[in-house]
Amino acid sequence: MKTKMRLENTMCLMNKYWENGLRALVFYAKMKPSDPLEKAIDFDKNYMALASQCCGPESLISECFETWSGVLFSRICTLMESNLQKACCLKSIPEREKCLTEIAIEESKTLPNISIEAEHLCRLRQNLQLLKWIVYEYSRRNPQLDVKRNLDSAVRVNGLITYCCATNNPSDCITSFSEHFHV
């Protein structure tokens, strides 16, 4: 029985194997592209706290046995403000995801362009905030992509920026690849 409970505790399993605990941040940025980075980080922290809580046998709750996407959708739906978003949240999960993604795609088209300045990016890297910033910006501008693809792209860009910041001329290096990186 104990093994069965441990295997069905999907939240604990996801907590152990998620890359940098950033999937909830990607999810939030995709679903609410107009919200600021701080709200996405708070959503991610709260979600990871739940996942971590699910790994303690004394603190198991029903959410520990739901799918990670089910938990994310139920939590994000409590934060939705527009009537269109609320209507999407009443649908079943596959339809809910499609409906919310369509709204997010339209919303992402209204986001202002960002300028990619080497000095700012290198400073973010030094403060260990670069990956979160890239994950957030890339995901909110590409809500049509799935969580894994957004995360993989952001990790790749993070590696390129880290490389560029270590060169003699980070600005030229970042400019050369940023032409191919559509944020």
Structure confidence by residue, pLDDT tens digits, 70-110? 888 888 999 999 999 999 999 988 899 999 999 999 999 99
Contact 85, 32 (CB under 8 A): no
Closest CA to 140 of 179, 175, 106: 106
Dihedral sign from CA coordinates of 165, 171, 173, 179: positive
Cα separations (Å) of 160 from 41, 70, 150? 23, 33, 16
Alpha helix (H) residue ranges in 23-146: 23-31, 37-53, 68-77, 83-89, 93-108, 118-126, 130-141
Closest CA to 27 of 181, 151, 178, 169: 151
Alpha helix (H) residue ranges in 9-79: 10-17, 23-31, 37-53, 68-77
Q: Tell me the three state secondary structure of residue 65.
A: helix
pLDDT, greater one: 177 or 166 = 166
pLDDT of residue 59: 65
pLDDT tier at 66, thresholds 50, 70, 90: confident
Q: What is the residue extent of each domain of the chain?
A: 2-178
pLDDT tier at 5, thresholds 50, 70, 90: very low
pLDDT above 90 coverage of the chain, percent: 39
Contact 165, 116 (CB under 8 A): no
Q: What is the pLDDT of residues 115-159, one digit of tens each?
A: 778 898 898 888 778 889 989 999 999 999 988 898 888 888 889
